[in-house]
Amino acid sequence: MLEHFTECIRVSKAARQEAIQVNIFAALLCAWRHLSDTKYSFGDDKTLRSTAVALTMGALSSSNPVLRFAAAECVGRLAQVVGEASFLAEIAQTSFDQLRYLRDSQARAAGLCATVGCLHRFVGGLACGQHLSTSVSVLLAVAQDSSAPTVQAWALNALALTAESGGPMFREFVQPSLNLVLRLLLKTPFTVIDIHRSLANLLGALITTLGPELQSSSGGGKSNTGISCLLCCSILLEHPDPHLQAEGIANFQRIHVFAPHLINLALFAPILSTSMTSSCFILRRASIACIRQISQKDADNLCDVMAAVAIATEAAKSASPTNTSTSGFIGSLPGEAPGGSLQTVGVSGYVNSESVPSLEIVLFSLLDVEIDWKLRRHLEEAISSLLQARGLSHFQQWMRSLKQLLHLTTATSGTLGSVDESHSSISSRGSAEHSKTDRRKDEDGDEDDDEQTFGGAFESQGDAGRSGASLTVFNFPPRWPTRILAIACLRRLMNLCQQAADCADSGNANTTPEIGLRSPQITRSDLPLLLPNQMNQQRV
């Protein structure tokens, strides 16, 4: 079969050759992955092995990057299924020699770099441990050669694969690799996006490799390593490409997992606030995932700094412009208080804090417009973590937010949904009038009000601001999934109150987080995802 594949590639013309090669390597990848999963041996026939090596190594010089990387993966899979140290050493040494002496073909050099990375990825760090030092030294040398940007980017990606598979054995190579990332981020122009993306991938692999060692960054080299990681992330956030900004946020999230004291949330919050409502999907996904992570470990500080950013933004709109965006280093330098302080976010003028939507309200509003299931899951988990951490300590705020959210489900005109007692009589009269219309629509078969046009149900923001009502981010009535989640949050809040009352009666001095951990997680599966008319039909 391998000889037939070789013959098909040889006799095919240039127009069809790439298509044939892509199909052949896809078939080989599937076959060798199945052999690896089932623990079957590739065989001891040297002719068979040499034919497979010649077939795969010959495509490393292809001008098609997809075909080039597929061939590199085939080489890594082949070394995995053969499982012999001598065979691995032969392929690795051939790749090293060609990388050292054959620099004329950039495509070939890029394919060889990918081959080295795939060997470490598929064979594993233990089997490739004896080749780790040589691989890193060769890849670092190739990555520093700026005369061939394509080869440089592929070498950085291969170095990232090597770092991910190396584990603790790669620890001694972290510092030179991190120095290379910082140096290239500073000297490489923004227009060379491929290199910056490769640097972002390598930075993420290095942060994962460092792991818990960042937790003890109290001085010396470890502190410098943490600061270097933060500097690289800050540079990525300054890049105009949104994909690289998302990579910067993701790397900040990785640092926060291991060393939250290194992150200055007061400086990082404006970036999250801007990105979570960005028009770019990848930025929204990265920021919401980061908020979900931080809400599980530092919910109080997160809500405080996000509220300060929102107040500063409103003050900048109503008064003299204030720069609420951040640039440069975003982290806690040695000697600074961990996490920063709210004074780092400038506020000009006076803004009523109740006129600014809270973080949970913003997250609820995003549920109405996001359709990606993974992003919606991040939003729901973030809301659940905030409620668990702040449900009892900020009970009035949560009740006001949930009341505001559920009030908008019945009010289809009037103000933007003020929850103040002074406006309750006005909003209740408007709700009563329009609830009759809603019931008539449901009886006539109009299933949902999700199809209402944006902004048609409420007054303008300016009118609401003059009337003193609390502003919201809802420009249309919340959809049914959002309403059901709000009711689930209300039930969870009632459960927390019941647990607190039971603890008070029994004399246990349990703290709020301990009570929250014993309560069930928010889930919409406990509530029926049915429309009112469907529920009435079921009751009948």
Instruction: Output the pLDDT for position 337.
Output: 52
* Residue given tokens 């790397």 in the structure block: 251
Instruction: Output the pLDDT for position 93.
Output: 92
Instruction: Output the pLDDT for position 208.
Output: 92
* Residue given tokens 């075909």 in the structure block: 67
Q: Please give the Cα distance from 333 to 224 (Å, whole number).
A: 10
pLDDT per residue over 478-506, tens digit each? 888 888 998 999 999 888 888 888 777 67
Q: What is the DSSP string of 85-112?
A: HHHHHHHHHHHHHHHHH--S-HHHHHHH
Q: Please give the Cα distance from 489 to 503 (Å, whole number).
A: 21
Output the pTM of the full model: 0.78
Name the 3-class secondary structure at 1.
coil
Angle between helix axes 85-101 and 106-123 (nearest 10 degrees) is 150
Q: Please give the Cα distance from 308 to 44 (Å, whole number).
A: 67
Q: Assess contact for 23 and 5: CB atoms under 8 A.
A: no
121 token code pair: 């990825």
277 token code pair: 């409502």
Ranges of residues in the chain with a pLDDT under 50 are: 219-222, 321-326, 339-350, 412-472, 512-521, 523-532, 535
Instruction: Output the pLDDT for position 15.
Output: 74
pLDDT per residue over 431-477, tens digit each? 444 444 444 444 444 444 443 333 333 333 334 333 333 334 556 67
At 23, the amino acid letter reads N
Instruction: Output the pLDDT for position 483.
Output: 87
Q: Please give the Cα distance from 169 to 116 (Å, whole number).
A: 17
Angle between helix axes 174-187 and 149-166 (nearest 10 degrees) is 150
List the chain domain ranges.
227-351, 359-539
Contacts of residue 173, defined as CB under 8 A and 6 or more positions apart, other chains included, come to 132, 133, 136, 163, 166
Length of the chain: 540
Q: Please give the Cα distance from 230 to 332 (Å, whole number).
A: 9
Q: What is the DSSP string of 137-150?
A: HHHHHHHT-TT-HH
At 362, the amino acid letter reads V
Q: Please give the Cα distance from 436 to 424 (Å, whole number).
A: 19
* Residue given tokens 């989640």 in the structure block: 485
Q: Please give the Cα distance from 174 to 166 (Å, whole number).
A: 11
Alpha carbon 460 to its chain centroid, in Å, reads: 34
Instruction: Output the pLDDT for position 538.
Output: 54
Instruction: Output the pLDDT for position 6.
Output: 86
